[in-house]
Structure 1
Amino acid sequence: MLDRVLGSNPIEGEIARPVRLIAAMRYSMLGGGKRLRPFLAIETARLFGHEDEGALRVGAAIECLHGYSLVHDDLPAMDDDDLRRGRPTLHRAFDEATAILAGDALQTLAFDLLADPRTDADPLVRAELVLGLARASGLGGMAGGQMFDLQAETESLDETAIRRLQAMKTGALIRFSCEAGAILGRASTEDRARIRRFGEIIGLAFQLADDILDETATPEALGKATGKDSSRGKGTLVGLYGVARVRAMLDAQVVEAEALLAPFGERAATLIESARFVADREM
């Protein structure tokens, strides 16, 4: 789906697709990655009996939004990284201006995909998906969390502030990925609340695992620089409490995730495995 939506031919309403910009977008989106967020959206939609191209389009939209955030996060003005997924970051492989434009275009493409009638015939569902992604990725979500993250280089954060930062920068988009599948699947209010909480847990678990890997993994295994948070003095729960205690927190998150999905029985087996994957991953 990503390969298709990042084709070279303009679609209805577009004038042209610059060759260099498309090449940069494809470099960032088709060069590896876990695809965890679209996986969660697609599997959650499947949990509620929704399996069609619309779920793939929602997954692609979320991955485009995530991809944009990585491209901009790697820029010299932000985290200034040279390596992403084991190869040069986009601004190193192309140039800084192209990377900025590629991120901009990936962000708008995400909302293009969600608003398209091919994603869902119901305009109210499409509007809810657009609103949810905007809230998860904007001022009060991922972008706001990134601002808190930059400020953390010069400010001392307690556990409450660290959890807020992580819930916004990383957790909000993961939470929405789960809820998006429930929106597509027309889940009940109760089930949607359950899935939303599951997404919050997965988001926190993902960040806790990231913090542990940043302290314990090698750049070769992780495919990017490690130890940057501690070197910059950024507040993390690992920095506050150490790896062993955070590992125990992570295990507790998995237990809660399993309990939340228990009412769905075997239908939720894959999602439960995803929680274990997030906690135990090595990259």
Structure 2
Amino acid sequence: MTSQTYEHMLKIAVIGDIHDQWEAEDGIALRHLGVDLVLFVGDFGNESVEVVRAIASLDIPKAAVFGNHDAWYTATDWGRKKCPYNREQEDWVQQQIDLLGESHVGYQKRDFPEFNLSVIGSRPFSWGGTTWKNASFYKERFGVTSFAESTTLMVAAAESAQHDNIIFLGHNGPFGLGNRAEDPCGKDWQPLGGDFGDPDFTEAIAQTRAAGKNIPLVTFGHMHHKLRHTQQMRKAIAVAEGTVYLNAASVPRIVQIGDDRQRNFSLVYLQGTTVTQVSLVWINQNYKIASEQVLYQKNSSLMQPV
């Protein structure tokens, strides 16, 4: 990987909710795309240790957060009743955290000096919404008992970052991007509508921005692009206060089309402190771009700010 400088264009791949769809070909595809940095928004599978192990071995600069499915058998009473392993002898949640090591940025940061950039993780294992869920899980694992305490951890991570150029990486996105079902964090189950974003994430972004940090990109997943009640697709992009918000959860991310097997990646182009373009690309089995949907271009009528 060649060293980059602040002024150079960075090519960032954001990997949406994986749900066990990760193959060796994904790493090869990322090499063919020539990306500088890879960001994972979580939901690798239902505590899928082997998927996380494979991703941990990816030899490209990376950062990741965990989603609600990554604590599927641990965070809730419902999940613990269905747990397929002996929780007194094994801890698959901790195994996943240990495997990712410094690449895991939930409530933490990872500095990338070669890019003059720091990635800050939001609350890991988020299920979304404005109700504080899974209280015992968060207290035991992270010592957190409220949205306010959760915000404090995110802000502390941002304050400790080496760089003023910050990407926020979450599983669920922040509250405030719209309350329609088709909005980036909109509720698409009955009753339809409502903002299901994370309020602690929103507050952490606001405090970090107020502290003088530049936030060109906030990216997340959790809320899939395909809505449950309509053929309409979810809005993948919102723009506010100079920040591009990207929901990368195009699920399923690997599909079979005739004889061809295609996989999707969201590509973000970052020029200094500015996102210039975001695209959703599908890569075919020959590692060529089969299709590309441009979701955002700076100074384009393609996107309207929220």
- Tell me if TM exceeds 0.5: no
More strand by share: 2
- TM-score with structure 1 length normalisation? 0.30
- TM-score with structure 2 length normalisation? 0.29
